[in-house]
Amino acid sequence: MAAYTTTAPAPRTYAFAALPEITGRSLWRMIRDALAEARQAQTEREINNYLASTGGKFTDQAEREIERRLGWNTARW
């Protein structure tokens, strides 16, 4: 039984172009920022969907309904 051997060495060039840029932020900070960005995008999608379903006009009534649906409490103002 013949052993498998290669005559050419494996290439040793590695490309690390896909690595994120090091910004000095901690891992927890990057996770928190990513979660906040995802939540912001979700909120904007919900607002856009609501406005599209009501004719696209941003009225006082639409603003109050958006605040109610998203759970924003503006009574403190």
Report pLDDT for 36. 95
| Cα–Cα distance measured from residue 31 to residue 77, given in angstroms and rounded to the nearest whole number | 31
User: Which range, of 2-11, 37-46, 62-71, averages the lowest pLDDT?
Assistant: 2-11
Report pLDDT for 58. 87
Q: 50-77 burial by CB neighbour count: b if 16+ within 10 A, else e?
A: eeeeeeeeeeeebeeebeeeeeeeeeee
pLDDT digits (tens, 9 = 90+) for 15-42: 666 666 667 878 899 899 999 999 999 9
Collapsing DSSP to helix, strand or coil, 44 comes out as helix
Report pLDDT for 48. 93
Report pLDDT for 19. 62
For the cut 70, the answer to whether the pLDDT of residue 70 exceeds it is: yes
* CA-only gyration radius of the chain, Å: 26
Residues with Cβ < 8 Å from 77, sequence gap 6 or more? none
Q: Where are the domains of the chain?
A: 27-70
